Amino acid sequence: MRRKWLALIAVLMLVVTMSVAASSSAAPSTYVHGVFSTAPLYVQDGTTGSFLTASSGNAIASWTDNPLSSGNQGFFNAIVYVGPTKYEFRLVSLGGTTPDQIDGKFHIYKNNVLVASVAGSVYGLSQPIGNVFKFYDSAYNWHVSGYITNRLDY
């Protein structure tokens, strides 16, 4: 009987030791992100000052937030229609990233014509599906926003 108890205690200690070892070797947190939107909300036209309701469009943001030896990377593009008028917001130079935000220089096009080159930020990117991301330029003249409709983090 004593042997059975010793065997049981040995097995239990082995299980506890393995579970502690497994939990301490958990995978690192995610630092590559992708946020997608097929549900735009608003555009602020910096040439007119008008705050407009979007009728359709798409947006994608992809970025890293872990310091990489090659530097962080980021991409943002939003094409939003307000009736027949097309607005496009493009990240052209990355300034920096966090788990929630992309900073940099953006080109803004209206009906395929470059109308602004601005510093700005896309933020609200760490939120779950159903929440809103936003872009504002540093002077708050230009804006685009939309619901996050899908995301991928790894």
Q: What is the pLDDT of residues 106-145, one digit of tens each?
A: 999 999 999 999 999 999 999 999 999 999 999 999 999 9
Residue 9 has pLDDT above 80, yes or no: no
23 within a domain of the structure (yes/no):
no
- The parent domain of residue 92 ranges over 33-153
What value does the mean pLDDT of the chain take?
Answer: 86
Q: So what's the pLDDT on residue 31?
A: 84
Q: So what's the pLDDT on residue 124?
A: 97
Q: Structural domain tally of the chain? A: 1
9 within a domain of the structure (yes/no):
no
More confident residue, 136 or 99: 136
86 within a domain of the structure (yes/no):
yes
56 within a domain of the structure (yes/no):
yes
% of the chain beyond a pLDDT of 70: 79
Q: Kindly state the average pLDDT of the residues 82-96.
A: 97
72 within a domain of the structure (yes/no):
yes
146 within a domain of the structure (yes/no):
yes
16 within a domain of the structure (yes/no):
no
From first CA to last CA, the distance across the chain in angstroms is 51
β-bridge mates for residue 132, sequence order = 147
Q: Kindly state the average pLDDT of the residues 142-150.
A: 98
145 within a domain of the structure (yes/no):
yes
Q: Which of 35, 95, 101 is nearest to 71 (CA)?
A: 95
**pLDDT tier at 27 (50, 70, 90 boundaries)?**
very low
Where do runs of H (alpha helix) occur along the chain?
2-24
